[in-house]
Amino acid sequence: MMKKHRAQRGSTTNPHNRFFQHEYEVLDDYLEHCALEGEAFEDNKTRYIEVFPKTIVTKNNSPDVPFTWSINPYQGCEHGCVYCYARNSHEYWGYSAGEDFERTILYKPSAPKMLEKWFERRGYQPELVPLSGNTDCYQPAERKFKITRQLLQTFLKYKNPVGLITKNALILRDLDILKELNELNLLRLTLSITTLNEDLRRAMEPRTSTIKQRLKALEILTKEGISVNVNMAPIIPGLNNYEVFNLVKEVGQRGAYSVNYILVRLNGQISDIFEDWVWEAFPDRANKVLNQIRETHSGTLNASDFGDRMRGEGRIAEQVKAMVSLARKQYLHAPPPSSLDLSQFEIPSDQMRLF
């Protein structure tokens, strides 16, 4: 039975930043004082903070990730996915991997201009650059700041291939640009659909688009001739692993050409955040979920070895692998996309820049 989760945030805690020497504890006496005085101790509204990075394109060194470069227009993510591996990165900015990750969003309005400079480096060779390797480029902040849209316009202007990874139906706002990129064979697109269970989605990914909205977005994109890969990521034993066949069938009927998956791993602070969450949201099966995750990672909640950490090991991992393989063969029939066209890259002339 799912226990009702407090509204609109994923993490139930705000753990201490491991890079900080000192930490503080809020005493019950102070909370009682705030209540009596009619004062809110903590504002749950999302804060947006402008930042000025020196670079915008990040190099990836992990052999488990199939791209070399990526761009993150935002740090932190209001989607609040409780399992998100990117939570740990928020500590490098001086915040917690818990609630801070969801309500303190750093945004980079200089990103499009910085991308232009990156394209215009001497000797640059065009290659695929995905948005985003870390947090979702179509999270709610994008409605306000439109940085992702400006980046897509820059990719189109220079005719450089771009990839998109998102679980937000807001991507349809930019369908006009996506269609142009797709016509030039400059687009790779992945939608993340983790579950078909809306109650589970609401508890696990509280500020993401609904499952209905994501399936509709998939259908619209594929009808426009855009090839879409679906990520069932992560698969969490005891929560959504039983959905493999139904989910692949649903996305296959809507035109997805492939489905990839990652078996959950709870690295760094995420293990504590996830444990607190699963005991609150699913008290009747939390122990089973945690033990099954441990079974796939040699008795721990995390795995760090390249190659194995995304797929896990043992009986459950093998069952998931077999189910995904069989479901792909049974339900996916759309053709894969054509090869990316790297030959079209160009640096716009000064006259073109005026427009």
Quick one: pLDDT at residue 43? 58
Three-class SS state of 81: coil
Whether the per-residue pLDDT at 334 is higher than 60: the answer is yes
pLDDT band at 124 (very low <50, low <70, confident <90, very high): very high
- The rounded distance, in Å, linking the Cα atoms of 229 and 283 is 34
User: For the residues 11-15, what does the mean pLDDT come to?
Assistant: 56
pLDDT band at 59 (very low <50, low <70, confident <90, very high): confident
Quick one: pLDDT at residue 32? 57
Whether the per-residue pLDDT at 260 is higher than 50: the answer is yes
Q: With contact defined as beta carbons under 8 Å apart, do 120 and 353 qualify?
A: no
Q: List all residues 6 or more positions away from 352 whose beta carbon is below 8 Å from its beta carbon.
A: 157
Whether the per-residue pLDDT at 244 is higher than 90: the answer is yes
Quick one: pLDDT at residue 94? 86
Give CA angle at 63 (85, 335), nearest 5°: 90
- The rounded distance, in Å, linking the Cα atoms of 147 and 153 is 10
Could you say which DSSP state residue 164 is in?
Answer: E
Quick one: pLDDT at residue 6? 46
Q: What is the pTM of this model?
A: 0.87
User: For the residues 312-336, what does the mean pLDDT come to?
Assistant: 96
Spans of all domains in the chain: 45-192, 200-211+225-336
Signed CA dihedral, 195, 196, 197, 201: sign only: positive
- The rounded distance, in Å, linking the Cα atoms of 300 and 271 is 10
Cα–chain center distance at 41: 30
Quick one: pLDDT at residue 7? 47
- The rounded distance, in Å, linking the Cα atoms of 339 and 344 is 13
Quick one: pLDDT at residue 262? 93
User: For the residues 215-224, what does the mean pLDDT come to?
Assistant: 98
